[in-house]
Structures are given as structure tokens and as C-alpha cells.
Amino acid sequence: MSAADQTTGRGLGRRRLLRSGAVALAGAGAGWAGSAAARAADGAAPPAAADDVLTISPPDGAETVPYLGPHQAGVATPPQAHLVLLGLDLVDGTDTDDLRRLLRVVGDDAARLTQGEPALSDTEPELAPRPSRLTVTIGLGPRVVDELVPGDLTLAPLPSFSTDRFEEPWGQTDLALQLCADDPTTLAHARRMLLKDTASFATVRWVQTGFRSARGSQPDGTTMRNLMGQVDGTVNPAQADGDFADLVWADGPGAFAGGTVMVVRRIRSEMDTWDKVSRQGKELAVGRRLDTGAPLTGTAEHDEPDFDAVDDNGLKVIDAASHIARARSDDPAERFLRRGYNYQVHRDDGTDDAGLVFTVFCADAERQFVPVQRRLAQQDRLNEWITTIGSAVYAVPPGVASTDDAPGLALLEES
């Protein structure tokens, strides 16, 4: 049989198949149009057009956060949807020169990746052009500050609190790299590139991943919800506040001016027991309504709580041991910027470990964070359902004005 016979005989051939399919589709379209017209004649509305069902918005993946500036990005930056937090330990024998080289290579690739450019030795450059608001924030642990950073900068480890129940491997590390982006693929690529950069200098102790609501799923500026259903982070300083800079950015010493301190607490939520609590019991423990986040004495999330208000039985509407009552202070300095992320990890036994990667930024952790955490550890109704299983603190150097520089290098030049 000739090629022509194969096309016109028993064999359909590619052109005939496509042509037949087109006719079939056209027939289906005509049938739909006819039935739609009949329904319209009967007074029934036709099905919605595709444009009424799906609205495609311009992609946000090209958005960038400036890498250069007086402060590192990823602190005051509006939180992205996804987090990867890397805890690294320097290899034995690492000296200040090694740390300088590490900061240079990480800083150089961070500058590239956050602006949508491939890393210097990028093996998958196709993954770099859509940074999706990627930020990379570098933090130095207490041992690094004490042994490798000259000058007057000090960073004390956090004290222990009575509610701490630490588990391996979530403890203090020498370095932390906080990576945030709206796209998990972008984040995975940046994580791989930066771990290549650090491989000769440090080992990975832990990786903490986290998430918030997807970008665009709710209006920008909406307070996040944690996995316990609570609006989490209502009382948070905003950049427009007059005291924001004093609360977040350190004024020194020396080259650390414009830096900040990052506290990381891994807080497990005991979801199985929390699920058994009534809605009223949950709201009493927190001191806020679950639906709106409003204090129990108010109607809107940002209403000021009235801790003196009593109900018809003479009992405080907001329990003095509730979470918001214990977290609140009359000292305006005992505030800090919260930038937490939910986490959920599947265990080998078939259950889930879920909770919060509670990240705090402040000018002075001992002055601002520690007093609040001490009160919460002493008495907080919520402690029955949350357990702190990890803790660390890092000095986050200020930003840089040039890509020839890298965060932390100026600290190593001080004498």
C-alpha cells in the first residue's frame, strides 16, 4: 500500500485524524450552542463564559525586594508566603578570614538571586529570573560574635525559661540564613545555591520551613493566622510608627549600627488536645475572638483590650492569665517585630508535628523580648497547648550600599 493509500484507506493518517477531531469539536460546539439557545428561549440563563469563571492576573514572580540599603531585607519587608531558615555550624578551625570569605560568596549570590539573576556558578540559571520577592537575611550566632568578630559587639544566649522543652536539633547554631519568597520553587533554588556556597565552611544543623497564606489569597497587610486558628501578630509595630526604628534597629556599637537581633523559637502546637477545647475555652485562653481577632472586650481586631472590664458575675472579661494579658506590658520598650511562619512536618508514626517558627526582630533582646517571655513562661493559659522545642538568637548585621560589600564584613574589620 502506498503512502497515499495509507492516508486514505484503513489507516487514518495524522492529517485526517486532526481534521476529524476538528469536525467533532465543531459539532459538539454547535450542539451546545443549540441547547443553550433553547434554554434561553425557555427563560433559563446560559452557562457562564470561561472569562466569568477564571480571571488571570499578571504574574507577581518578577517582583524584587531591594538588596542594597541601610538594613538587610527580610526584616521590615512585608512577609512573603514561604520561609526556609537554615541553621549552620562552622567547621572546626574556621577563622575570621574564612568567615570573611563565606560572607563574601553568600552575599554576592544573595545579591544576584534576590534581583532575578543567576548565582555566580548557577547550574540551573533558568530558575533564577522570577525571584518572587526573594530575600536573604544573614545572622551571626553568639559563638561567632564572641570568637570571630572583633570590637565591642556582644550577643548573649537567651536564658532558659521554665516552659522550654528543647529537642534536637533545634538549638543554637553559629550562623542563620533566613530565606523568604512567595514562590517555593524560587526558594528551593536559592536554598540549594547558598548551601553550595557554604559547603566548604559550614555544616547544616537544621532546616526550618514555614508558610503563611498564599500571596493574593487575602488583602495585603492582613494579620496571619496560626494553625490553631488564631489571628497571630495583631500588636506588631509598623514602620509608620514613630518608635519603630528604636524598637527594631540597633544604634551600635560601631559597624553594627542599623543591625538588629533575631530570635528564633520553634513552638509546637498540641493540636490533638487543642481540638478538644470548646470555642469559648479557646477564646478565653487567648483573650481574643477566633473569628475576628478582636479582644473579648471589643469588636474589631485592633480595638484596645479593656483588662479591667468585668461581666455580669463580676469576673474579668479578659482573664488575667490569658495570653494577651500576660504578653501585654506597661513598658512601651517591651515590644518587638514578630515575623512568624506556620510549620507542619509529618512524623514517622503517622502523626503531624505542627506549630510556629516564631521569629522576632528587636534592637535588644534582653531588654525587649526576655521580660515578655518570662511572664508568659510563669503564667499563660495557652501554655497547656504549646511547647517551645527550639531556641536560638542571632546578630543580624546592617545592610550594605554596594554589591562589592556583604552584610557582616564591616564588623570583621573593626579592631
> H helices within 287-397, ranges in order?
323-327, 365-378
Rounded CA-CA distance 86/207 in Å is 5
Neighbouring C-beta atoms of residue 319, cutoff 10 Å = 18
As a whole number of angstroms, the distance between CA 327 and CA 346 comes to 31
Crossing angle, helix 184-198 and helix 96-114, to 10 degrees?
160
What lies within 8 Å, CB to CB, of 271 at 6+ separation is 227, 228, 352, 354
Measured from the Cβ of residue 277, the count of other Cβ atoms closer than 10 Å reads 15
Alpha helices in 42-183 (DSSP H): 50-53, 96-114, 142-147
The β-bridge partners of 342 are 211, 356
Residue with cell 514562590: 183
Whether residue 184 is preceded by a cis peptide bond, meaning omega within 30 degrees of 0, is no
Pairing of strands 386-396, 202-211: unpaired
Q: Which helix (H) or strand (E) holds 206?
A: strand 202-211
The C-alpha atoms of residue 261 and residue 140 are separated, in whole angstroms, by 9
Q: Can you give the three-state secondary structure of 263-291, one letter per residue?
A: EEEEEEECHHHHCCCCHHHHHHHHCECCC
Q: Is 92 a catalytic residue?
A: no
Do the Cβ atoms of 290 and 223 come closer than 8 Å? Answer: no
| Other beta carbons within 10 Å of 347 | 8
H or E stretch at 338: strand 337-338
Which one of 232, 243, 303, 331 is the catalytic residue?
232
Q: Which residues carry out catalysis?
A: 232
